[in-house]
A and B are shown apart, each in its own frame.
Chain A
Amino acid sequence: MSLLEIIGGIFILVGSVFLFLGGLGIFRMPDVYNRLQAGTKATTLGAMSVILGVGISQAATDWTWILKTLVIVIFIAYSNPISSHALARAMYKRKKFPLVKSKAENMDAYREIIETEKEEVKS
């Protein structure tokens, strides 16, 4: 077992633990937005770490692995926030308002925009 394999193995382990935490976050959080928060962040770092770990542990035998895994890592880092942003906006436009725990009125700054938009459509 070479040094590169050990480093890659550590990356794979850490990444899989974060993937597990992403699943746990989706399971435990109370509403869509918090689920998105936990799901997106944990799975992004988890998948990036696992994929890089595979690339690193193969680097000694075949260096083309690290290039291909790098493409997947860049794609995941680029696409995952975009899809979670699109989902959050779609859920807000469907009037699934987030849970807001404190009493202050301006805690939900986006709501007035949606409501005025709706009135414009009506009038």
Chain B
Amino acid sequence: MTYIIYIALFFMIAGLTMSAFRFVKGPTAGDRTVALDTLTIITVAAMVLLSYVFQRIIYLDVALVYAVLGFIGVIVIARYLEGAL
């Protein structure tokens, strides 16, 4: 099980690196927001995995709150870009 978690964390960090690259480079604001969305989701998955590693059920609530905040943030940025805010 330990090795499975190492491999999974490796893949997640690789995905995070690539979307962070797009976040820095992205030609338009929309590309950056897409990258931010992906970063949020991968981070939520990593938080849940870490709550398994540390065996603390309370960390799942942290992951849920982070998912809610990331969703609201992306919606607000999208409304702003649309010009409706």
Contacts and interface: CB of A to CB of B under 8 A. Distances in A.
Task: Determine whether A and B are in direct contact in the complex, meaning some CB atoms lie less than 8 angstroms apart.
Answer: yes
A93 B82 CA distance: 6
Contacts, number: 164
Interface of B is mostly: helix
Given A65-B57, A75-B68, A79-B67, A23 B34 contact: no
Nearest to B58: A68
B13 to A, nearest CB: 9
Interface string B43-83: 01100110110000100110110011001001100110111
Chain A contact residues (Cβ within 8 angstroms of B): what range?
A: 35 or more
Contacts of B17: 23
Given A16-B7, A68-B57, A86 B74 contact: yes
Most chain A CB atoms below 10 A, which of B5, B14, B34, B49: B34
A64 B8 CA distance: 23
Interface of B: 1, 4-5, 7-9, 11-12, 14-19, 21-22, 28, 30-31, 33-35, 37-38, 41-42, 44-45, 48-49, 51-52, 57, 60-61, 63-64, 67-68, 71, 74-75, 78-79, 81-83
Give the 9 A-B CB pairs with smallest separation, nearest first.
A23-B15, A16-B8, A23-B18, A90-B82, A86-B78, A16-B11, A20-B11, A27-B18, A90-B81
